Amino acid sequence: MRPAGHFVLEPDPQDPARIVPHAERVAAAPARFGGWLLATGGRTEAVEGRAPEGKIVRPRFGSMDSAPGWYRSEAHAEIRVHRLAAGRKRGYFVERLPG
């Protein structure tokens, strides 16, 4: 079995109105690539180091290989443009190691 892949997004919208179209459609996008959302902007609590500056969005995928396919897909590009226009963000892929 291949390790799961995760995308971690820390959006910090400077123009919250511009991220609304993204927020309304983001939940359905990972399903097309075998993924689902584990976290979608709820409360966070820092226990080590500093807390994220904004919310956390974290889709999980069946493998690290399918996560970039989702990110680069036309379906995600249609909604990603709204998030990118809204302000600062940090996003990265993480592979779950076995064990």
Q: For residue range 7-29, what is the model confidence (pLDDT) as tens digits? A: 998 888 888 888 888 888 888 88
pLDDT confidence of residue 1: 67
Q: How far is CA 67 from CA 2, 18, 37, 63, 93, in A?
A: 13, 25, 12, 7, 7
Model pLDDT for residues 35-66, shown as the tens digit of each residue: 998 888 888 888 999 888 778 888 999 888 88
pLDDT of residue 47: 92
C-alpha span between 12 and 88 (Å, rounded) = 5
Q: How many helices (H) and strands (E) does the chain have?
A: 3, 4
- pTM over 0.85? The answer is no
Helix (H) or strand (E) holding 20: helix 16-25
- On the question of pLDDT at 97 being above 90, the answer is no
DSSP label of 29: G
What the block records as the tokens of 41 is 């902007």
